[in-house]
A and B are shown apart, each in its own frame.
Chain A
Amino acid sequence: MLRFNLNGQPVEVDAPDDTPLLWVVRDHLKLKGSKFGCGMGLCGACSMLVDGQSTRTCILPAASVANKNVTTIEGIGNPELLSAVQQAWVDSSVPQCGYCQSGQIVSATALLTRNPNPSNRDIDNAMSGNICRCGTYPRIKAAIKQAASAIQNGQGKLQAVQYFEPTQSATEA
């Protein structure tokens, strides 16, 4: 039995240890916001926060997140309660087809967690693991900067719907 914290809630799943976390979350736990893009950890559509780190879950055996905190796009914010990054995404009309954007927002959230005022180069480094085929890169860059300044001005949070210490694992919590 796999046990971990998903968006702040403890979950138990009966699936083989080597099942990729993405499919545990999508197929077993029915949270569909994290997407399947490549199955090789190359495109970032499946990104989730694992103890605060943006992680490619299509190649991550679910057993490796035992007792850890996993946060998906649904744990960052929702239509009623947007995080600062999501608000910036809406304000800048970032999404086109939208398929990669959950992963983009997860990676942007991880970046701003450890670097509240990223430079262009910091953004390039943090976001280059996430492919967007529609070409929303210039807007993503602008939205990350907008979110950074909103948070610095006390407007909005990195996680709108829950709070946990990303460096603290579930067992310690």
Chain B
Amino acid sequence: MSTQVDISRRRFLQHATLTGGGLIVGIPLMGLTGHAHASGQGSLTPNAILQITPQNAVHFYLPRSEMGQGVHTGLTTLLAEELDIPPAKISVHLTGPHEDFANPEFGMQITGGSTSIKGHFVPLRQLAANTRLVIRQAAAKQLNTALESIQTQDGQVFVQGKAFTYGDFVDVASTLDFPEDAPLKPASDFKYIGKYNQRLDAQAKSTGSAQFGLDVDFAGLQKAALKQSPVFGGTVKSFDDSVAKTMPGVKAIVAIHNGVAVVAEHYYQAKNALAKVDVQWQLPETLSAFSTHSLDANNGMGLFENALKKEGDNGHDEGDANAIQQADKVISAQYWAPYLAHATMEPMNCTVKIENGKVDVWVGSQSPGMAKNIAALFADVSKDDVTVHSTYLGGGFGRRSASDFVAQATAIAKASKLPVQLIWSREDDTQHDLYRPAALARFDIGLNKDGTITDWHVKRVGPNIMPYMIDETVDAMAPGFMPNAMVDWLSKRGYGLFDGWIVDPSSIEGLFEDYDSPNKQVNHVTVDPGLPMGFWRSVGHSFSGFFKESMMDEVAADQKQDAVAYRLKHLKNNPRLAKVLNEAAKQSGWGKPLAQGHFHGVATHMSFGSFVAQVAEVSIENNNIKVHKVTCVVDCGTAVNPDVIKAQMEGGIIYGLTAALYGEITLKDGMVEQTNFHNYPMLRMNESPEFDVIVMNNNEAPTGVGEPGLPPIAAAVANAIFAATGKRLRSLPLKLA
């Protein structure tokens, strides 16, 4: 699973001209590019990773996006460990795209998939170790002494008891051959990894001084509000702006590819004027005909139910598919999870300035490289003429891996010939998301006479994410020499590819992997009314964790076996999952009496390489579900910042609880019905449970934590509801009345 980047024999040292000068080192994290790190004098758009100035300032140009998950702290900790410089003494800078900043896990500059610590664990430490060695070598040369006599400690260089700074040696270091394979510390010597728990961005984010995309401002910047097609894929037929264009502050009203924008001096002026723009739409046929509540057999749930009758495409085939006919007993059940919006706290926004053929984009993005390409496409300039300035992300959760709002902001700036900041309203954000796919699944679980699972059959029905991602990617990433017609043709292949050809892995992940069963069959039927799909925190695991862990609970209950013991019996080939489950049972007091009216439910799930078990303590009053406490145990290998891991578990669980208890996006005639937090509610402080999060300590390679906390929680709660009421809730959100 883990992609260890081979970082030997690569060019590390770069004599770029960053502001401040000094020793500047960069690694192409993928090791694929041969391009020099060019950077303009005085420019702070760096494309090296690490800079140490003669004045001993240490700058780290963060190659991943900070959206709350903690890379700012985590990656700095990795660097600090091998540099031997305290993390708080390193200045961390958010960076724009550069080909050398590609995520080692993807080959593109994307932050997602819980990969940042996993992917950078070796490359960043190696870069730092090499840097520390070259500083020591420079000190040895400069002071004419043996390398062995030169030590570093807490950001200082010590030579025979005398203290120097790293900066004292950067000039000489820049003249030396850069080491390639300085030895890395053994885990037993770690000073920060496993121990460093202070979030480095906490102060900026507690004083209102952290800059998000929406906070970007400069003289002459105009604000834009956009009316988008109420049904995805619609276009503007005509519009009447006769009233709007006379309103205060209005500078321009322009039609773009999927809407009409008002550009004004202030946001509220743009918003007020936009309300007076009357737009006639050309709406797409298929999606406009789709309503989730429709009782028609060929619409809404009927579409999904009908598809379940089809055989579908095989996504996983293990053992004998026909063996289930010999099973002693088959237990079957059907599960449903609805569409979901991301609802990041910061609505989508993007700032674009086009001047003399050069495009500047300010955006909080999980894929700044894609943002750059999209801006080039919509401004009709070369990619080299686009500069992306990264900001903090006011929540990502997968939503900001797409660049639809970058395309719009660029199109508005181009059409209006004004520098603009496009600001989506909360209603825009809720109704124009790339949604978590809805999913229907049917399990048929075969048991032998002992009640052991012998056949694990599951079929999933629903839309796939990959076609939508391919669509955006191909348009933006296709090389310039490719004719437009070919790009267009290619971009339409995404849909066909996953309809009968191959199964999108994210559509079935997590449905079948965890438990032992000699025979496993996973089939998939694509149903896609055309609502755009995107990565939503934990992706396919966000529904499959609920499905699989509820189903396992049903089987255990049918067999009148303890839910923990029955799971453990089927985890012989999954020892790390068994271990977290055991630990969660122990920590939560599983099987021991609880307060009157309180019940436990358990779930365990592996995703993104990490193993998580959760026990939820739940009570029911007047059909209201109250989650009192969640015990969570996670094994994510080497724990780099244990407290950040805890925070990600808490956050993943709360995000998952919102989905479990409230989350549902519905459509009427292709239009999303939810608009704002009153009809798409979020878990609030008074509903937040108490937490007991345990981070297992081991020396395995580190794996992700941004997403794996989410998948088990809905099932843990649903299983507790079953314990409390005997009712098996098979649809999300969980409702008793």
Contact = CB atoms under 8 A, between A and B. Distances in A.
Contacts of B343: 133
B198 interface: yes
A158 interface: no
Contacts of A45: 345
Contact of A42 (B69, B644, B677, B690): B677
Given A90-B203, A128-B686, A34 B68 contact: no
B199 interface: yes
A100 B647 contact: no
A125 B655 CA distance: 21
B721 to A, nearest CB: 21
Contact of B205 (A28, A40, A98): A98
Contacts of A134: 68, 345, 395, 651, 654-655
A140 interface: yes
B691 A95 contact: no
Contact of A86 (B206, B266, B345, B684): B206
A60 interface: no
Interface centre among B208, B212, B345, B396 (most CB of A within 10 A): B208
A3 interface: no
Nearest to A98: B205
B529 interface: no
B304 interface: no
Looking at chain A's contact residues, the main secondary structure is loop
A132 B425 CA distance: 18
Contacts of B652: 135
A82 B207 contact: yes
Contacts of A96: 68-70, 647, 651
Interface in B183-223: 197-199, 201-212, 214-215, 217, 223
Given A93-B199, A137-B685, A141-B685, A99 B212 contact: yes
Given A79-B207, A93-B643, A105-B206, A131 B425 contact: no
A152 interface: no
A27 B265 CA distance: 9
Nearest to B210: A98
B678 interface: yes
Contact of B208 (A27, A72, A94, A97): A72
A101 interface: yes
A132 B28 CA distance: 36
B279 interface: no
Contacts of A95: 68, 199, 201-202, 205-206
Contact of A32 (B67, B199, B217): B217
A93 B212 contact: no
A132 B685 CA distance: 8
Interface residues of B, number: 62
Interface in A112-127: 123-125, 127
Interface string A1-44: 00000000000000110011001000110111111111110110
Interface in B593-647: 643-644, 647
B394 interface: yes
B657 to A, nearest CB: 8
Interface string A34-72: 111111101101000000000000000000000000001
Interface string A78-89: 110010001001
Contacts of A33: 207-209
A31 B214 CA distance: 12
B723 interface: no
Nearest to A123: B685
A159 to B, nearest CB: 13
B267 A77 contact: no
Contacts of A131: 345, 677, 682, 684
Interface centre among A33, A73, A137 (most CB of B within 10 A): A137
B394 A138 contact: no
B647 A99 contact: no
Contacts of B654: 134-135, 137
B345 A43 contact: yes
B650 interface: yes
B217 A135 contact: no
B106 interface: no
A102 interface: yes
B426 interface: yes
A169 interface: no
A132 B396 CA distance: 13
A159 B323 CA distance: 70
A149 interface: no
A34 B676 contact: no
Contact of B209 (A16, A23, A30, A79): A79
A34 B207 CA distance: 10
A99 B396 CA distance: 11
A101 B199 CA distance: 14
B395 A97 contact: yes
Contact of B647 (A15, A78, A93): A93
A136 interface: yes
B401 to A, nearest CB: 15
Interface centre among A72, A132, A138 (most CB of B within 10 A): A138
A16 B303 CA distance: 51
B423 interface: yes
Nearest to B423: A36
A65 to B, nearest CB: 16
A32 B205 CA distance: 12
A74 B647 CA distance: 26
Contact of B214 (A36, A77, A78, A138): A36
A74 to B, nearest CB: 6
A86 B690 CA distance: 23
B267 A23 contact: yes
A14 B202 CA distance: 35
A28 to B, nearest CB: 7
A97 B394 contact: yes
Nearest to B344: A133
B264 to A, nearest CB: 10
Contact of A138 (B202, B395, B425, B650): B650
11 contacts: A16-B248, A27-B266, A40-B426, A95-B201, A95-B206, A131-B682, A133-B343, A134-B345, A135-B650, A135-B654, A137-B685
Interface of B: 67-70, 197-199, 201-212, 214-215, 217, 223, 248, 266-268, 343-347, 392-397, 423, 425-427, 643-644, 647, 650-655, 676-678, 682-686, 688, 690-691
Given A30-B217, A96-B68, 13 more contacts: A27-B266, A34-B208, A38-B426, A39-B676, A82-B203, A86-B203, A97-B393, A97-B395, A98-B205, A128-B684, A131-B682, A133-B397, A135-B688
The 9 closest A-B pairs by CB, nearest first: A33-B208, A135-B654, A98-B205, A97-B68, A99-B394, A96-B68, A73-B208, A95-B205, A137-B688
